[in-house]
């Protein structure tokens, strides 16, 4: 939360048939006139057919590198910055409880330019999502169907997502209030945008963007790739949860632990159901409530609940 099957079909991919040997057609000389027979492949095709498949070690090394690249362009990078940010906050002098952070800041004093910046930020943040889906579909399989991001069960996904949002969101607000009371969580301002006609639509799109980025990368992509690497299931679930917690560290210790718990629940749901769409729905609902609903809470209520 910004406050992100068939077990055998996802085995390590191979790029060629194992043990494929030359055939008579492979060794035949190409013809230049009317073709006689069917085995007149080009030298490149013959070499490709004779090439051995990559070793298991080579495939694992390539997948590991791919994971680091995807995370380095998205949530892994955010996690590194968040760890530096919490170090900065802890050594800056004022206690965490006296510090603030803003989730959706304004990027320009001129509303029309601010809108352009906001749209660009949302659009470019979704590029790693497209990259992850593209890489998961490298063998011709639909990545959207593979991780359950399709809309084949809209009402069920909506119901499950709403239930998850309630089960995670309400305790999450309580944990945030507790962290504020204990002084281990910074004050999180949901937004500081210019008041304009586009403010609420941008906040809603930002919620959807956060949900897609976090759930596709931290859950769908990462868990599928770690499964391809034959990690043990408990380690896959924990890795997904710790990644989710890492990029929330800049908000303090309360959001870190709260998002780790959320990550464990979401990762376990995905492990059982192989569907990321309900998680996207849940995350979107939670962020919409935080981004849009926070400003509607009276100041005295926020003070009483230690939300400000």
DSSP state of 13: P
Any domain includes 9 = no
pLDDT for 153 equals 95
State pTM to two decimals. 0.81
In this predicted structure, the answer to whether residue 106 has a pLDDT above a threshold of 80 is yes
Q: Span 277-303, mean pLDDT?
A: 85
Identify whether residues 122 and 47 lie together within a single domain.
no
For residues 222, 223, 224, 226, the Cα torsion angle rounded to the nearest 10 degrees is: 80
- The DSSP-derived string for 33-91 is SS--SS----HHHHHHHHSPPPPHHHHHHHHHHHHHHHHHTTHHHHHHHHHHHHHHHHH
pLDDT for 47 equals 56
User: Is 191 or 84 the better-scoring residue by pLDDT?
Assistant: 84
pLDDT for 52 equals 80
Report the distance separating Cα 216 and Cα 291, nearest Å. Answer: 21
In this predicted structure, the answer to whether residue 101 has a pLDDT above a threshold of 50 is yes
pLDDT for 2 equals 53
Any domain includes 2 = no
Indicate the residue among 9, 37, 52 that finishes a domain.
52
pLDDT in tens, 154-169: 999 999 999 999 999 9
Q: In which element (H, E) is residue 263 found?
A: helix 253-273
Among 155-159, 176-180, 280-284, name the one with the lowest average pLDDT: 176-180
Q: Span 184-193, mean pLDDT?
A: 88
Any domain includes 59 = yes
Any domain includes 218 = yes
Q: In which element (H, E) is residue 100 found?
A: strand 100-102
Any domain includes 5 = no
Give the domain range for residue 38: 17-52
Identify whether residues 122 and 227 lie together within a single domain.
yes
Any domain includes 3 = no
pLDDT for 5 equals 44
pLDDT in tens, 63-100: 999 999 999 999 999 999 999 999 999 998 899 999 99
pLDDT in tens, 142-152: 999 999 999 99
Indicate the residue among 30, 52, 74 that finishes a domain.
52
pLDDT for 141 equals 85
In this predicted structure, the answer to whether residue 126 has a pLDDT above a threshold of 90 is yes
pLDDT in tens, 14-58: 444 444 444 433 434 444 444 444 445 555 555 556 778 888 999
pLDDT in tens, 228-238: 999 999 999 99
pLDDT-based confidence at residue 195 (cuts at 50, 70, 90): confident
Tally of domains within the chain? 2
**Mean pLDDT value across the chain:** 85
């Amino acid at each position: 939360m910004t406050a992100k099957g068939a077990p055998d079909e996802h085995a390590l991919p191979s790029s060629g048939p194992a043990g494929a040997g030359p055939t008579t057609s492979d060794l035949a000389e190409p013809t230049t006139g009317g073709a006689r027979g069917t085995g007149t492949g080009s030298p490149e095709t013959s070499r490709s057919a004779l090439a051995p498949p990559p070793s298991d070690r080579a495939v694992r090394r390539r997948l590991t590198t791919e994971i680091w690249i995807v995370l380095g362009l998205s949530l892994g990078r955010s996690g590194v910055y968040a760890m530096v940010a919490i170090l900065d906050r802890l050594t800056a002098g004022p206690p965490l409880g006296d510090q603030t952070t803003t989730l959706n800041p304004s990027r320009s004093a001129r509303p029309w330019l601010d809108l352009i910046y906001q749209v660009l930020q949302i659009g470019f943040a979704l590029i790693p999502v497209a990259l992850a889906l593209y890489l998961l579909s490298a063998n011709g399989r639909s990545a959207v169907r593979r991780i359950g991001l399709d809309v084949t069960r809209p009402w069920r996904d909506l119901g499950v997502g709403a239930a998850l949002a309630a089960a995670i969101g309400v305790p999450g607000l309580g944990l945030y209030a507790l962290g504020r009371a204990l002084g281990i969580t910074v004050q999180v301002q949901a937004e500081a945008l210019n008041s304009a006609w586009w403010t609420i639509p941008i906040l809603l799109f930002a919620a959807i963007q956060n949900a897609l980025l976090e759930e596709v990368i931290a859950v769908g992509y990462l868990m599928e790739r770690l499964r391809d690497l034959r990690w043990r299931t408990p380690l896959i679930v924990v890795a997904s949860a710790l990644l989710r917690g890492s990029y929330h560290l800049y908000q303090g210790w309360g959001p870190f632990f709260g998002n780790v718990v959320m990550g464990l629940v979401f990762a376990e749901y995905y492990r059982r159901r192989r569907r990321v769409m309900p998680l996207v729905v849940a995350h979107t609902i939670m962020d919409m409530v935080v981004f849009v609903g926070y400003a509607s809470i009276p100041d005295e209520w926020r003070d009483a609940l230690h939300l400000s």
